[in-house]
Amino acid sequence: MPILISSRVMSSPTVLRLAVAALFGFHARAELQAQVDVPSSAMAANVANTTSLVEEPQQQQQQQQQHQQKQEAQSLVASSPFWCQFVPDAFKSTACGGQGPSSTPPPSSAMPSPAQCQQMSAEQQAKSAACTYSEKEAVQFAALSAAAYCNPEGWTCGEACSAVPGMTSVKRIDNDELDAHAYVGRLGEACVVVFRGTDSASGWGQDLASVMLTELPGCSHQGKSCMVGSGFLQNYQEIAGDIRAQLSVIGCTKTTPLFVTGHSLGAAMATLAMFDLNRLGYSLSKAYTFGQPRVGDSAFASAFHEAMASTPVHRVTRADDPVVYMPARDPFHHVGTEIYYRGETTEGYRVCDGSGEDAACQDSNGDGGAAALLMQCVIPQQCGHLRYLQPAMAFP
């Protein structure tokens, strides 16, 4: 999943990712078409070996079932939108014959209204994402995420670095094999952990692996183990120890206020980092993510919300960003307080209810037509995933 903020250039890995998705989609469609056009070997054998004009009831039942399956497959191929052929099965929504969301209730987390925020103490407001979201601050965090794509050490990476003056002691953490990258630094009295998104074929492989859920060690909710995307978890685990080591090198202790951010795959890793670092006793102060995919299941979402109840976690989304709709809801479930933009910042935003799946925000669009939106991303200027906080950001 791309994690570029800039819309100037379409990176070759992004095109590669679309090609991989198309390959998976064509493979799935070929298998489906094969079921339509080619009789099964079992059916052919039954026809060849029939020695009686009166078939056994079991053979008749088999033929009826096969005929019904053939009709259903023909109907699915004919009725599905053409772009479904480009979508891997794990990402398919109900429009493409996939499974829609279940009726599993989301974790409840009522967000205060603006009027209620004004009645709260400063300490209470500081702990609420609904009371603390600032678009100006979000632009700074988006710039931090954009800086992860160059060499941020020395903080001379161009416009992204210039948008956040005062960053010092920047240290990179890299695992090129898995395309897992992050950096840490100091910003005023706080420390910062920033995760970079995918920009290589190996990174895209990790993204695809994340449609498979794996157990998150040490996490459960009401007796149910937490499950998260396996690729997301592997990426984070590979660099987690180095992140903590570099924080120590630059003088960041567990009592130092800590900011976390990332975009796309980097946002998924940032989410796992928040949960992990909070569990280890670090003082998470605030977090902003952009274009974040669903990271884990409802048990993880519930455990995350409980653990981060006193930390503002702003998950910024755009209606035209395909990544925020993936992987499909159920068993996956979003976390954090969604800050929902219909498009450009000039259209305003909505602070959502904090459940992770607010029906009045991103979820109001169903699956968002994610496959069609992915196809739009061939043209960077039309790709919502690459246009966060435009035109409020001072650089494209």
Taking alpha carbons only, the member of 373, 275, 276 closest to residue 317 is 373
- pLDDT at residue 52 greater than cutoff 60: no
- The whole-number average pLDDT for the span 285-302 is 97
- Among 79-88, 328-337, 378-387, which is the least confidently predicted range? 79-88
pTM confidence score:
0.75
- pLDDT at position 368, please? 84
pLDDT in tens, 220-248: 999 999 999 999 999 999 999 999 999 99
- The whole-number average pLDDT for the span 94-115 is 52
Four-CA torsion 384, 332, 363, 365, nearest 10 degrees:
60
- Tokens representing 345? 């910042």
The number of residues making up the chain comes to 396
Phi, psi of 333 (to 5 degrees): -150, 130
- pLDDT at position 131, please? 87
pLDDT in tens, 358-368: 999 999 999 88
Q: Which residue has the tokens 């909070």?
A: 278
Q: Which pLDDT band holds residue 111 (cuts at 50, 70, 90)? A: low
Q: Which pLDDT band holds residue 163 (cuts at 50, 70, 90)? A: very high
- pLDDT at residue 23 greater than cutoff 70: no
- The whole-number average pLDDT for the span 339-366 is 94
More confident residue, 368 or 136: 136
Q: Which pLDDT band holds residue 69 (cuts at 50, 70, 90)? A: low
- pLDDT at position 171, please? 97
- The whole-number average pLDDT for the span 80-99 is 49
Q: What is the largest CA-CA distance in the chain?
A: 88
- pLDDT at position 161, please? 95
More confident residue, 317 or 127: 317
How, if at all, do strands 313-318 and 167-175 pair?
Answer: unpaired
Question: Cβ contacts of residue 210 below 8 Å, gap of 6+?
Answer: 229, 230, 231, 232, 268, 293, 327
Handedness of CA 230, 233, 236, 237 (dihedral sign): negative
- pLDDT at position 149, please? 87
- For residues 329-343, one letter each, b for 16 or more C-beta atoms within 10 angstroms of the residue's C-beta and e for the rest, the string is bbbbbbbbbbbbbee
- The whole-number average pLDDT for the span 140-169 is 94
DSSP state of 7: -
- Tokens representing 169? 């002691």
- CB 324, CB 241: distance < 8 Å: no
